[in-house]
Amino acid sequence: MTSVAVIIPLYNDALRVERAIQSALVQQYLAEVIVIDDCSTDDSVRVVRELAEQDQRIRVFSLAQNSGPAVARNFGVEKADSEFIAFLDSDDEYLPEYFSDVIPLMLEDSTLHACKVGMEFWDPVKGWILPAYDARYPAVVFSSSCNILMRRHAFLQMGGFSTDPLFREANGGEDVAFCQAVAQHLAPLRRIDKIFYRCWSQAGSHVDKFLQETRLAAVKDGFEFVRLNEQQKPGGGLEQAIAAYMKRVAERLAPG
């Protein structure tokens, strides 16, 4: 039977994680919601365990030490039993009919390893941000790992997310590296514009930082960075870390 596992890394998000979990539980084909607590110090685990008592599809695990979302996601996929996997941040939510629209496409084409869907961005203070007509929208949607549904065996073959410590710094980067690897090494990557993922942004989030660091350029459909730290500059640490990860994935997927 076709099944999907939703992987949710969790760290100190007791007030919002229930919304995320409930948005996954209503999806067709959903078999398991795997929550990986990354050493939360609030009531996050208690909230999830109470939900798990009401629905056996919810499973919760705790990491021995705070390790970041990449380690948590990789751990969650290892624990999954489903044919397909999808990722969800604990402060975000899926929109209805996500899996029911995408899974049939995956089943029809056995060569399709992954599918990306549209996203919308909501800031509780600013309201709707980053509309689809903004030139930065495609870049953010492409670089997110939360709007991707993929075959579990493909994820395991490529080695999951990079756990390079550099990606745990302020600018992140493991999502960008992961999505680039999927697009390059697990082609074809199907893309659906229909919005199935709602990202709840806020001050200090990766989306918020990206919008502050960029501006629309005079060039049609373009944007540019207004400031870059040393790690973000061409040839800097982030570019090198992404290149190293891409090389490792290529080696893992090489024939023979």
Tell me the CATH number at 225. Answer: 3.90.550.10
Phi and psi at residue 69, to the nearest 5°: -65, -30
Digit-coded pLDDT (tens) for 124-138: 999 999 999 999 999
- Expressed as residue numbers, the domain containing 217 is 4-253
Given a contact cutoff of 8 angstroms between Cβ atoms, the answer to whether 210 and 136 are in contact is yes
State pTM to two decimals. Answer: 0.95
Q: Tell me which H or E stretch contains 5.
A: strand 4-10
Instruction: Give the separation between CA 5 and CA 83, rounded to whole angstroms.
Output: 8
Q: Give residue for tokens 């590296």.
A: 177
179-208 burial, b at 16+ Cβ within 10 Å, e below that, comes to: bbbbeebbeebbbbeeebbbbbbeeebbbb
Digit-coded pLDDT (tens) for 48-96: 999 999 999 999 999 999 999 999 999 999 999 999 999 999 999 999 9
Count of domains forming the chain: 1
Given a contact cutoff of 8 angstroms between Cβ atoms, the answer to whether 1 and 82 are in contact is no
Digit-coded pLDDT (tens) for 3-37: 999 999 999 999 999 999 999 999 999 999 999 99
Phi and psi at residue 246, to the nearest 5°: -60, -40
Q: Tell me which H or E stretch contains 72.
A: helix 69-79
